[in-house]
Structures are given as structure tokens and as C-alpha cells.
Amino acid sequence: MKTWLPPLILLALLVALPHAGPLFHAWLPDLSHPLYWRTSFTELALSHALLVATATVVAVVVGLSLGILATRPAGRSLLPTVRAVAVIGQTFPPVAVLAIAVPLLGFGAAPTLLALSLYGVLPVLGQTVAGLDQVPVSALHAADGMGYGRWRRLWEVELPLAAGPIMAGVRLSAIVSVGTATIGSAVGAATLGAPIVEGLVGNNTAYVVQGALLVGALALTVDGLLGFVENRIRRPPA
């Protein structure tokens, strides 16, 4: 899919949906409110995107740092643990993370942010370790022999060579966050999940469809943009 298509669809939906009341009324004539009205879709989408962006930044910072630490000589002993946690963590449903976060932080954006960040760390961490592990040993040996310092080697050799897998992890983390943030509205965060949750509770299919369309378009947009970045970072161009 072209990179520009999903953002265009998202934009079109944000513009068109508020005027689509008659359309939904025609489809579901029994509903008294065929269009979600409590908050504007644009406001929800922005808040949703902000939440995802913040969580992804936290996930990248934490995941990348842990991944780098675990692949340094001093941190090597942590590697099996880190790997195991990353794999086990992936099997945890995001809802469970949210359920654990609410008693700790109360309702609102905070528990959602915590859940998203925690859950988002794992793909980044896993891919960072995998990416750094597949850097050719001969290149590292040569870098050492030529007098690259430890950090310089990391920055100029290891990270560029691991950039592809790491970006794939970041992408996965962000997309999972877009979906998971939807559930966040169940605990009071303003996200595109609000119409979905309210629609499910009030048996209003129109709300659910409106929310789902926007979340889907947002997920594709995020995936497209990060995919674009990933392709730019990979060098030589594959």
C-alpha cells in the first residue's frame, strides 16, 4: 500500500464522519443517536495519537536501553532473562496489563499510558536484542582493531546495522499501542475507543463502527509512516 493512502483515508474520515449522521440513520433507523456526539472525533483522534506517541517514545527509550545493556559484555548475564521476559510478556493480553494498572494509578490516561508503555517495551526490546545479535562478528572485530571506542562502535556500527529489526520492533510496538489504547477508554482515557465502548455498552452499532473505522485508519497510518522511516533507515537499501 502507498504510504500516503492511509493518512488520506484517516483525514477523509475525520472530515466526513461528523456529517454522516443521515447515512447511519438510513442504515440503522432504530437508533435515536446514530452519530457519536459526546466528543469530536478529531479531538479523540488527537488524544489517541498523543497517548500512543508518548507510550511509544517511552517504550523505545526503555526497550532500546535495556536491549543495548543486555548485549554489552557487562550485561551479557542479563540476556537470557531479558529474552525470556520479552517472550513471556508478549503472551500477556494487553487488557490484563490495563487491569493491573488501574488499581495502581486510578482511572484516566495514566493507567493507559503505563499499560501501553509496558506492553510496548517488549517488541522494541526483543527486536533490539535480535538486531544487535545479528551484527556480523567480523565487523565488530574489525571495528575494535581499528580503534573504534565502545560507544562509537555502538553508534556507528552496531545500531545502524541493527536499525532494520529495531524499527520493525518500534513499528509493532506503536501498532499494538493504537489497538490497546482503544481499551483505555474503558478506564477513562479519551481515545477513539470511547465510541466503541459506549456503543458496545449501549448496544449502538453505529458508534462501534465509527470508532472502529477511525482506529483502523489510524493504525494503518502509523504503520505506513513508520514503515517509511524504516525503509529510509535501512542501508544499503534492501
Partner 1 sequence: MIEFDHVHKAFGNHVVIEDLSLRVEDGEFFVLVGPSGSGKSTLLRTVNRLTHIDRGQVRVHGKDVATQPIEALRRGIGYAIQSVGLFPHRTVAENIAAVPHLLRWPQKQIDERVAELMALLKLDEPGMADRYPDTLSGGQAQRVGVARALAARPKIVLMDEPFGALDPLTRESLQASVKAIQKETGTTILFVTHDMDEAFRLGDRVALMLDGRLAQVGTPLELIRSPADERVNEFVGGTRAYLRELAVRCVRDSMRRDESADGDAIAPGATLQEALGLMLEKRRDRLAVAGGGAILLADIVARPR
Question: Under the rule (CB under 8 A), what is the footprint of partner 1?
Answer: 136-149, 152, 157, 160-161, 235-236
Comparing CB distances to partner 1, the nearer of 38 and 232 is 232
3-state secondary structure at position 140: helix
Comparing CB distances to partner 1, the nearer of 75 and 160 is 160
Least separation, in Å, of the C-beta of 233 and partner 1? 10
CA distance 87 to 233: 26
Comparing CB distances to partner 1, the nearer of 143 and 168 is 143
| Cβ neighbours of 218 (radius 10 Å) | 27
Least separation, in Å, of the C-beta of 144 and partner 1? 6
Least separation, in Å, of the C-beta of 160 and partner 1? 5
For residue 231, what is its C-alpha cell? 525503509
Comparing CB distances to partner 1, the nearer of 29 and 145 is 145
Comparing CB distances to partner 1, the nearer of 76 and 141 is 141
From residue 211, alpha-carbon distances to 35, 50, 204, 205 in Å are 10, 17, 11, 10
For residue 126, what is its C-alpha cell? 526483543
CA distance 142 to 136: 10
Least separation, in Å, of the C-beta of 162 and partner 1? 10
Residue 214: DSSP 8-state: H
Count CA within 13 A, CB hemisphere, residue 31.
20
Element (H, E) at 100: helix 94-105
CA distance 178 to 112: 11
Least separation, in Å, of the C-beta of 232 and partner 1? 13
Contact status, residue 95 vs residue 37, Cβ threshold 8 Å: no
Q: How many helices (H) and strands (E) does the chain have?
A: 11, 0
Least separation, in Å, of the C-beta of 151 and partner 1? 11
Comparing CB distances to partner 1, the nearer of 100 and 140 is 140
